[in-house]
Chain A
């Protein structure tokens, strides 16, 4: 087991390097004088010169990459020109807020999605299945930002159950209760699409598994139907559901960008969009590399979970 984890962590190194290469190459696509382009409206002569020195932009591309990579490894992601603050500080602070939002949504969509899929499959063509299928279809067809806006209108403006936006009350204590009331709407809005996708997949994975011979064996030995569905079938179906949970985590993280904008959530997604519109490229670069790296680590955890579930994965 430890061997597998170690191997999986080691195999993440080339992926992480690959991520930096891709981000670096995309940024190299910027036309014209890179320093001026990167700095955009902050391109004062001093700034341009500083950036050129920092990134070694006068040097060949390969060398530039290694300078940039070396800086990042020492924790130096550069300085945001718009905020005049080290990129890493800003990213870490914002990422914390995103993690709370996306983490909650991810837990929600995993639990609800799998449960809905199993119930749907277990009652195939029944009313529960039809109802779930319809709701799920609605869920995957609605843009999350539109859903968020509608939820604000209904639950925050009309019913006044939840605050309209933000992560904390402007006045008052920053306690758990305040966080939960601010978190509820955005987390649900963010979870809806992923719940739909997971439910659809869980349903078809369950249907696939329920046709297998070992399900017939379980029935033949007299296992009660509840045990057949939730013990035998779900466990086997999880083998194909877990990788999708990993992919969906990426989609939740992506969807968080929209939700953070709609709900004024002070997360990394909103930061990135602002940075792009202000052409604060170093902040974009640093944010993208950091979040992608976290996502890679998360996927290692998913793989380890998968190997714990499935004894056939060895070495």
Chain B
């Protein structure tokens, strides 16, 4: 609760809205004791006095009544009615929504059909019909406004409830012996309440507008009692001759509704967990680069050379060092594996190459990535875009999420080509068919007009590969391309990638967490831990004689097929969080061989002949490993 208020106060606009609204509420609470004229006493001799007149600060209306007094009393009434309508609508709507969403099936069907019927009316028709039946009057207007808003709440809350009712913790609660009522009250409701509050805070302003509207039409508060809407309605006939009588209540409505909306947006932002982490930021076209100092000079190795790359995530006041100085290189036609657990920085390293790390929050803060000698970090966006897909192409993890759901796969392939060179319709089609055939999709002439959802996971990933091949790149960066696939499909995709790289002389950077995959596909491998490479070398050497304790232990703790039932060699503890990296070796906390020196100062990645390890006490000397 305190955290919530603090979060809300941090949002300056919401704070301003909150202050204005508090002042208005304070004012209307004080209205009964303020020395104001009677709002309903007419004095036709003094009608239409302008603002700042003697005895009438805001002037008088067409019956000579004091506008200030009427304004404050009217505000009180409008606020009270608006809030009451919101609370009634939210309570009734939420109750209906929760019941429908939780029980589902027939209950849900019947309730939601009814809600749909109510929503089939433009809302004011329903409100007018209710007022027509009950007769004009403020209370009836309140009922009408609340009633027409119930369906909106019901539908909104139902959607959220359905999501929660299918969460695993609800199943767990059932297995813990809870009854449905108890589950609704203790499991569902606490998770729905923030949504109800958000929905309410963003619709209260709206309801105040609606009740004011009904009063404006003469269907709400009846004379002499006035709310802001009816004040405006009565003033309308004198709009041209005495505009101040209209402007005073109109501006008040604007102030109230605007401050409520500002506050409401603040409440929504503070309560919506997605916004808390800043997740709703849009990633920019290329990763931000804020490089301190000069980029490291090229070492002249490989077609693609990454030197001392540093990529960070800046979330609020925390800095996560996702990649903390990684150097890599890939030769033409070579396959380099990058292996590590989640959070090791392997994907971020790969995405940094072409500036595809989402920013915000990602920032490249140091190092260089050279393709054929040109530094890509800090290269102008135009140049980066031109090289994306043409020189370096990507294949991503989840093929369903990475293809555009609303375009045919053929069109997506052609677009990849067209982004780099003009291509005619017929030629594009022919090329798309050729690409699909190259990744061994049967019947490519027919498949190019499929949408991604019409294909199986394996077929979709083949399309992803075809798209990467579209412009004959030299390098393909594959970011866990088979992790989301079934094992039988994975085997085929891996075989395809291996064939393609041999037949086309492609260099592949393959990111994975699976030693089996690395062993089968990669020439060289780099092992990453907590944002840095801890060991690199030829795949066979690393697999046969791992030198970093982390590599050894990681390989030992993964069960491998054919070894039978046994106890695994677990690594105790957790990988460090990269916003609080320890001094010295990041693995020290979990290492069995740790010495005092391991925790002091930076440990370099050292070695010869392409074999290097970042450890003071490696498992076996290099000479042995070479044998």
Check A221/B393 contact, CB under 8 A, given A137-B261, A276-B131: yes
Q: Whole-angstrom distance between the alpha carbons of A309 and B219 in the complex?
A: 42
A13 at interface by CB-CB < 8 Å? no
- Do A224 and B385 touch across chains, with their CB atoms under 8 A apart? yes
Within 8 A of B (CB), among A114-149: 121-122, 124, 137-138, 140-143, 145-146, 149
User: Could you give, for residues 1-29 of chain A, a 1 whenever the CB lies within 8 Å of some chain B CB and a 0 otherwise?
Assistant: 00000000000001100110111001101
Q: Whole-angstrom distance between the alpha carbons of A113 and B56 in the complex?
A: 42
Tell which of A15, A262, A284 touches B120, judged by Cβ atoms closer than 8 Å: A15
Q: Whole-angstrom distance between the alpha carbons of A217 and B465 in the complex?
A: 11
Residue numbers in B under 8 Å from A202 (CB-CB): none
Chain B: interface residue total (CB-CB under 8 A): 83
Check A236/B120 contact, CB under 8 A, given A214-B401, A221-B419: no
Within 8 A of B (CB), among A246-276: 247, 249-251, 253-255, 257-258, 261-262, 269, 272-273, 275-276
Grouping DSSP codes into helix (H, G, I), strand (E, B) and loop, the A interface class, with mixed when no group exceeds half, is helix
Within 8 A of A (CB), among B394-408: 394, 396, 398, 401-407
Within 8 A of A (CB), among B182-212: 205-206, 209, 212
- Do B118 and A22 touch across chains, with their CB atoms under 8 A apart? yes
Grouping DSSP codes into helix (H, G, I), strand (E, B) and loop, the B interface class, with mixed when no group exceeds half, is helix
Q: Whole-angstrom distance between the alpha carbons of A136 and B393 in the complex?
A: 40
Q: Whole-angstrom distance between the alpha carbons of A84 and B205 in the complex?
A: 40
- Do A222 and B250 touch across chains, with their CB atoms under 8 A apart? no
Name the distance in Å between B511's Cβ and chain A's nearest Cβ.
14
- Do A143 and B213 touch across chains, with their CB atoms under 8 A apart? yes
- Do B240 and A153 touch across chains, with their CB atoms under 8 A apart? yes
B253 at interface by CB-CB < 8 Å? yes
A207 at interface by CB-CB < 8 Å? yes
Check A258/B402 contact, CB under 8 A, given A157-B240, A216-B356: no
B80 at interface by CB-CB < 8 Å? no
B540 at interface by CB-CB < 8 Å? no
User: Could you give, for residues 431-460 of chain B, a 1 whenever the CB lies within 8 Å of some chain A CB and a 0 otherwise?
Assistant: 000000000000000000001010000000
Write the chain B residue with the least CB distance to A209: B282
Tell which of B114, B206, B243 touches A153, judged by Cβ atoms closer than 8 Å: B243
Q: Whole-angstrom distance between the alpha carbons of A285 and B117 in the complex?
A: 16
- The stretch among A53-61, A176-184, A289-297 that forms the contact with chain B is A289-297
Tell which of A215, A217, A262, A312 touches B236, judged by Cβ atoms closer than 8 Å: A262
B133 at interface by CB-CB < 8 Å? yes
Name the distance in Å between B277's Cβ and chain A's nearest Cβ.
12
Q: Give the A-B pair count, Cβ closer than 8 A.
A: 239
B246 at interface by CB-CB < 8 Å? yes
A299 at interface by CB-CB < 8 Å? yes
- Do B117 and A312 touch across chains, with their CB atoms under 8 A apart? no
User: Could you give, for residues 375-404 of chain B, a 1 whenever the CB lies within 8 Å of some chain A CB and a 0 otherwise?
Assistant: 000000100011111100110101001111
- Do A121 and B282 touch across chains, with their CB atoms under 8 A apart? yes
Q: Whole-angstrom distance between the alpha carbons of A212 and B388 in the complex?
A: 18
Residues of chain A having any CB pair with chain B under 8 Å = 14-15, 18-19, 21-23, 26-27, 29-30, 121-122, 124, 137-138, 140-143, 145-146, 149-150, 152-153, 157, 164, 204, 206-208, 210-225, 227-228, 232, 235-236, 239, 247, 249-251, 253-255, 257-258, 261-262, 269, 272-273, 275-277, 279, 281, 284-285, 288, 291-292, 295-296, 299, 309-312
**Contacts A/B (CB < 8 Å), 25 sampled:** A22-B126, A30-B133, A137-B262, A145-B216, A149-B232, A150-B247, A204-B280, A211-B358, A218-B404, A220-B396, A222-B471, A223-B415, A225-B285, A225-B385, A239-B406, A253-B122, A257-B128, A273-B218, A276-B219, A279-B132, A288-B121, A292-B120, A295-B122, A311-B406, A311-B453
